[in-house]
Amino acid sequence: MRHFPEPFRIKTVEPIKVTTREYREAAIREAGYNTFLLKSEDVFIDLLTDSGTSAMSDAQWAALQLGDEAYAGSRNFYDLEKAIQDIFGYRYVVPTHQGRAAEHIMSKLLIKAGDWVPGNMYFTTTRLHQELAGGNFVDVIIDEAHDPTNAHPFKGNVDLAKLQKLVDRVGPDKIPYISYETCVNMAGGQPISMANLRELREFCDHHGIKIMLDNTRTVENAYFIQKREQGYADKSIKEIVREICAYTDGCTCSAKKDGLVNMGGFLAMNDEDFFVEAKAQVVIYEGLHTYGGMSGRDMAALAQGIREAVATDDYIKYRVEQTNYLGELLTAGEVPHVIPHGGHAIFLDARRFLRHIEQEQFPAQSLAAAIFVETGVRAMERGNVSAGRDPKTGENRRPALELVRLTIPRRVYTQSHMDYTAEGIINLYQKREQLRGLRFVFEPKQLRFFQARFEPIAGD
């Protein structure tokens, strides 16, 4: 089958605006060449992120009507808690308004100043919270993950030799946990294998180090394990998700992705003392421990979303295969992008797309802006701008991966939107020499990619 069809039909539609190139040129100029600063209504197909952009099901919309908006003890919290316990298997649940709030609380409680936190590549908010808590992030992902042309099937895996080196250097007591992400976002949505996680569990048991899962895209990761890892073809997505979580001590989760909701998150764990402390923190920063920043109806929609994502294997197959479909079109058009194709997004390789723009002139930022002008499709920079500056030296981090992410919202766009997107990007690739680099006109100190403004560097 060339394309696995959407396992749903459309009941409500939202019109989107078709614009001219002149209109889009003015819009991107006004936005300082930063796609985060565009107005959503000026965007034709929004592939900025898969975060909070899902279409909810009729059952989720129905669940919204059953919100119990009590300040304390909402029945929707108890149902959400049960859904998380049933699907992910953790004992204790602390709700938060989104993922970074869970990261904040976890980092504050588990990291002491001077600690080291290894992880399978960084995520922007995750690393920032580790650093704000006084920790130092260390990347221990396998080398293949930094090479966009390497076809390793599990590029999210941890390199245990790198982890061993860190343990030898700083000692296990200085490592409170390893931050382990499923379908590693910054690597291109690349999965971890169960074999890697099993080995990591053994290693961490030996050294007394916790494994804290970034559970944001575990369902997508489970699909790759089912498809690619020996021994998992006959296991359900639900069983695989449960097994992944069982090897870990707890998780943070941005429920705005796999959870199929527009807002929500949680922290979950098996350790009771950690739970008691996390509950004490959540009331300071988020809200009472039975809502944590979500309304009752948000929690109702999330409980339904968590169950729906794994109820059958069809949803996730459609979801990941739709992403792959876009990737295959770009492959056919010879547009350089990260392989294998990730779960939530296709990542264009801006280094190879724009060989004539050097990294200090932000090729990925420039490419994202040009894609918008060419097509009305909004993408996101994931390169030098996102990586930020080294807090010690103040220099740009110059990451190996200089990417533009075309992120597919869940259940929102159809195959023809993918066809249109690919066609526009292939056209742009053919005239890539015309693109120019950018320079900052405003650079925020932290998470600069969200609000930075740029201007084009004039050509010769």
Q: Which of 123, 224, 291, 413 is catalytic?
A: 123
Which CB sits closer to ligand F0G, 125 or 396? 125
Q: Which of 8, 21, 71, 450 is catalytic?
A: 71
Q: Check if 382 is active-site.
A: yes
> Which one of 64-72, 98-106, 236-244, 290-298 is the stretch in contact with ligand F0G (CB under 6 A)?
98-106
Cα 234 from Cα 328, distance rounded (Å): 26
Output the 3-class SS for the chain: CCCCCCCCCCCCCCCCCCCCHHHHHHHHHHCCCCHHHCCHHHCCEECCCCCCCCCCCHHHHHHHCCCCCCCCCCHHHHHHHHHHHHHHCCCEEEEECCHHHHHHHHHHHHCCCCCEEEECCCCHHHHHHHHHCCCEEEECECHHHHCCCCCCCCCCCECHHHHHHHHHHHCHHHCCEEEEECCEHHHCCECCCHHHHHHHHHHHHHHCCEEEEEHHHHHHHHHHHHHHCCCCCCCCHHHHHHHHHHCCCEEEEECCCCCCCCCCEEEEECCHHHHHHHHHHHHHHCCCCCCCCCCHHHHHHHHHHHHHHHHCCHHHHHHHHHHHHHHHHHHHCCCCECCCCCCCEEEEEHHHHCCCCCHHHCHHHHHHHHHHHHHCEECEEECHHHHCECCCCCCECCCCCCEEEEECCCCCCCHHHHHHHHHHHHHHHHCHHHCCCEEEEECCCCCHHHCCEEEECCCC
> Which one of 94-102, 354-362, 396-404, 408-416 is the stretch in contact with ligand F0G (CB under 6 A)?
94-102
292 binds ligand F0G (CB under 6 A): no
Q: Check if 50 is active-site.
A: no
Q: Tokens 């990730």 appear where?
A: 342
Which CB sits closer to ligand F0G, 256 or 378? 256
Q: Check if 124 is active-site.
A: yes
Q: Pattern 143-182, binding to ligand F0G, x per CB under 6 A?
A: --------------------------------------x-
Which CB sits closer to ligand F0G, 265 or 363? 265
Closest approach, Cβ 345 to ligand F0G, in A, equals: 8
Query: In the sheet where 210-214 sits, what is the strand order?
Result: 92-96, 265-269, 250-254, 210-214, 177-181, 116-119, 136-139
- Near ligand F0G in 225-254, by CB under 6 A: 254
Closest approach, Cβ 117 to ligand F0G, in A, equals: 14
119 binds ligand F0G (CB under 6 A): no
Q: Check if 123 is active-site.
A: yes
Give how many residues touch ligand F0G by CB under 6 A.
15
Which CB sits closer to ligand F0G, 98 or 361? 98
Q: Check if 449 is active-site.
A: yes
> Which one of 123-131, 157-165, 205-213, 386-394 is the stretch in contact with ligand F0G (CB under 6 A)?
123-131
The residue from 24, 100, 210, 411 that contacts ligand F0G (CB under 6 A) is: 100
Q: Which of 77, 274, 449, 454 is catalytic?
A: 449
- Near ligand F0G in 310-329, by CB under 6 A: none
196 binds ligand F0G (CB under 6 A): no
Dihedral sign, CA of 3, 215, 125, 266?
Answer: positive
The residue from 265, 293, 363, 399 that contacts ligand F0G (CB under 6 A) is: 265
214 binds ligand F0G (CB under 6 A): yes
Which CB sits closer to ligand F0G, 73 or 444? 444
Which residue is closest to ligand F0G by CB? 99
193 binds ligand F0G (CB under 6 A): no
104 binds ligand F0G (CB under 6 A): no
Which CB sits closer to ligand F0G, 261 or 438? 261
Residues that are catalytic: 71, 123-124, 214, 257, 382, 449
Task: Give the binding site for ligand F0G (CB under 6 A).
Answer: 49, 51, 98-100, 123, 125-126, 181, 185, 214, 216, 254, 256, 265
